[in-house]
A and B are shown apart, each in its own frame.
Chain A
Amino acid sequence: MSDTTSTLAAHGHPTSATGLDSAKLGMWLFLATEVMLFSAMIAGFLDMRGRSPADANHVLNIPVTAVNTFILICSSLTVALSVASIEQGNQKRLRTFLLLTLLFGGTFLSVQIYEYNALISSGELTPWNSLFGAGFFAVTGLHGFHVFIGLIWCALTIFWASRGKFSAQNFMRVEVFGLYWHFVDVVWIILFVLIYLM
């Protein structure tokens, strides 16, 4: 470790007055901020939805998005399995499942972008031609941005894994990434129902 890192964070487990791991505690606190952020966006979406016709979301492609939702759930499974793998010390499976996560997550994002493009270029739904559109693109766009950040983080995790940074005794960073990724999935679970199905 370089001279720039804290004297405490020698390698994963400094002493803790509460018994809770600092990295995990920090991530859960961060997720609390994300709950508030998406709540604000959802409030904005619901307001715009309430000022739009009841059938405003009928331009959305539910079958495609349902499959996409399933794909994102698959990515959550593979992340959980990657953490389970490194818990057992299985480096190969760790990398494999992370790569699958990257694949599923990348597919989800690509389909989203494809859908956006279809909606906007056809003029069916844009951020500027309807209130529902404004709310839709704002909240799903923010979610998509979170997926994008997650993909970068996933790739970084794979890189660190390939460098041998993780072991059965030291995989907190994988778990922390997993928490972020699962949260992004939970947000989509809510948004899918709120935006597409209701």
Chain B
Amino acid sequence: MAADTVIGTGLVRHGGRKFSDYLVFNTDHKVIGIQYLVLAFTFFIIGGLLAELIRAQLAAPNNQVVTGSQYNLVLTLHGTIMIFLWIIPAFVGAANYVVPIMIGANDMAFPRLNAVSFWLLVPGGLLMLASFAVGGAESGWTAYPPLSVTTPVGQTLWALALQFIGFSSIFGAINFLVTVFNLRAPGMSLTRMPLLAWAIVATSLIILLGTPVLSGVLLLLIFQRLLGAQFFTPAGGGNPLLWQNLFWFYSHPAVYIMILPGFGIISEVLPVFARKPIFGYKLIAFSSMAIAVFGFLVWAHHMFTSGMDPFLRVPFMVTSMIIAVPTGVKIFSWLATIWAGKLRFTTSMMFALAFISMFVIGGLSGIFLASVPIDIHVQDTYFVVAHLHYVLFGGSVMSLFAGLYLWYPKITGRMLDEKLGHLHFWLTFMGFNLTFFPQHLAGLQGMPRRVYTYAPEFWALNLISSLGAFLMAIAVLPFLYNALRSLVAGRVAGPNPWRAFGLEWTLSSPPPIHNFPTPPVVEGDPYGYGERPVPGTTVAPAPGVAGGE
């Protein structure tokens, strides 16, 4: 295709040859993936600084770091940014880069739509930051009325920001679904494609069907705020539970959006560093789909104490417990995968192993919360905050890092430094547990969430938590230094530094702009460790050395 020899100079380009290519409307999925990751990381830092502000305020009771109103703004933006501008775009970015190559395609099905999806995050992100600067978005990321109806103008900006971000998400989901269904290379049947592709399909289905409902309810909120329509306020005859039902109908499946790609990544990482085929491929693939479907039937477990019809609590408790089963299937499959494996404790593998244990802790606290008699005591306490951070940080973020350490060499052509990687890992792991484990106890002892001060009896737990948070902040530094330095000074990675299966490892690092010169023909699934030789490598592998070569 002539495009290879044309160097873009305009605002619309294809391919990442030079730095400015990454600043324009670029239709190459690899460029877009990097754009997503850089944007996401920027917001990770911003959201993280907001978290540090929260923990600074809560380091002691009656602290004066921020006022109550400012505190509400900080916690709202922390949650909203971490969900919508960090973890989801980060997973989308990683998937954008890797998935088309994994399935043997040369790009996504709709490359221009792909670029649009990324660029929609720019006004979305700016509006979100504006809502912080202007103030007013103080009702938590869950924005319950009546508070969210009466807060100042920043709340409207917050809602508008989410609309942009929602569109980005939906277009991305459509793109991923068509890409995975239609652009698989010859020989790659659905039961031979990498599990990350299955995970992305499940994630995209949730985005497809859930996000529009969020968009709808935000529209109702904007209508009420701008036109005085009384949808949600009892004084005007409206119904605050209407917000809660429509909001959670999306926002519960949203948590599966935030974890399924991570599950997919773990399924990719473990076989590589245990040098064993994945156990239970079909179980894992189908359990992802089961989570996607069932995830839509549990939402009212966020409303057990809302005053909704008490009868509803029973079916939602049942469905909320059932949904643990497909996830449990995955956990056991992953354990069976690494069982008796030849483990290489690379940084990627460390994060993957930590994921399994941390996510299980989060899952267990989730089962507690699914039980109505327990939930009515711990709803809106720090027990919930502990749960959500164990699954979202211990789960989602750790799995994301496992993937980034795995694919960094592919994306950049350089190896990350493993010593710095291990430092990043251990500081993160210790900091994370110090921050959030005590919160289980605080919650069980009755400390409410979303409070800017607390009774003195909670001081010790909060102080430990805040010290942990400080450690988590420090932990980011070796990662940033490593990621940036290795770009120029890292050891050159070949096409397949990990000696892994998977089509992405048959290409150069980084891959050519149009990926595959001729469509690859696929003859097996990407997990044949010990069953057949890794393509492109010599037969006898060296004993497990971190780094691979």
Contacts and interface: CB of A to CB of B under 8 A. Distances in A.
B213 A37 contact: yes
A59 interface: no
Given A8-B107, A18-B182, A137 B229 contact: yes
B67 to A, nearest CB: 33
B468 interface: no
Contacts of B188: 17
Contact of B3 (A7, A17, A142): A7
A138 B220 contact: yes
Nearest to A48: B231
A121 interface: no
Given A127-B223, A128-B230, A37 B106 contact: no
A4 B229 contact: no
A67 B215 CA distance: 31
B181 A18 contact: yes
Interface stretch (A26-34, A102-110, A150-158): A26-34
Interface stretch (B120-128, B238-246, B425-433, B500-508): B238-246
A138 B219 contact: yes
B220 A4 contact: no
Interface stretch (B5-13, B73-81, B282-290, B437-445): B5-13
B216 A51 contact: no
Interface stretch (B203-211, B364-372, B472-480): B203-211
Interface stretch (A39-47, A84-92, A93-101, A186-194): A39-47
A169 interface: no
Given A4-B27, A40-B213, A25 B229 contact: no
Contact of A134 (B8, B183, B212, B230): B230
Contacts of B208: 29, 32-33, 36
A14 B110 CA distance: 12
Contacts, number: 150
B173 to A, nearest CB: 8
B543 interface: no
Nearest to B190: A17
Contacts of B219: 41, 138, 142
Given A4-B27, A25-B178, A26-B178, A43 B107 contact: no
Contacts of A3: 2-3, 6, 8, 13-14
A20 interface: yes
Contacts of A6: 14, 27, 106-108, 111
A137 to B, nearest CB: 7
Contacts of B213: 36-37, 39-40
A39 B211 CA distance: 12
Contacts of B108: 6
A131 interface: yes
Contacts of B229: 127-128, 133-134, 137-138
B238 A131 contact: yes
A133 B223 CA distance: 12
Interface in A44-58: 44, 47-48, 51
Contact of B106 (A8, A135, A137): A8
A117 B378 CA distance: 50
A44 B182 contact: no
Contacts of B112: 4-5
Contacts of B236: 131
Contacts of B238: 48, 51, 131, 134
Given A26-B174, A51-B239, A137-B229, A44 B12 contact: no
B281 to A, nearest CB: 19
A2 interface: yes
A161 to B, nearest CB: 21
Contacts of B217: 40, 44
A34 to B, nearest CB: 7
B307 interface: no
Interface in B119-159: none
Given A22-B109, A22-B182, A134-B223, A43 B209 contact: no
A148 to B, nearest CB: 15
A22 B109 CA distance: 7
Contacts of A41: 216, 219-220
A33 B211 contact: yes
A44 B246 contact: yes
B177 interface: yes
A36 B242 CA distance: 16
Contacts of B25: 4
A122 interface: no
B315 interface: no
B220 A26 contact: no
Contact of A47 (B12, B174, B242, B514): B242
Nearest to A47: B242
B227 interface: yes
A13 to B, nearest CB: 11
20 contacts: A3-B2, A3-B8, A4-B3, A4-B25, A5-B27, A6-B111, A22-B109, A22-B110, A29-B174, A32-B209, A33-B208, A33-B212, A36-B208, A36-B210, A37-B215, A43-B246, A44-B231, A44-B246, A51-B238, A127-B227
Interface of A: 2-9, 14, 16-18, 20, 22, 25-26, 29-30, 32-34, 36-41, 43-44, 47-48, 51, 127-128, 131, 133-135, 137-138, 142
Given A5-B14, A36-B209, 10 more contacts: A3-B14, A17-B183, A22-B110, A29-B173, A34-B212, A47-B239, A47-B242, A127-B227, A134-B230, A142-B216
Q: Nearest 7 pairs between A and B by C-beta? A: A40-B216, A134-B229, A128-B228, A37-B212, A3-B3, A36-B212, A3-B6
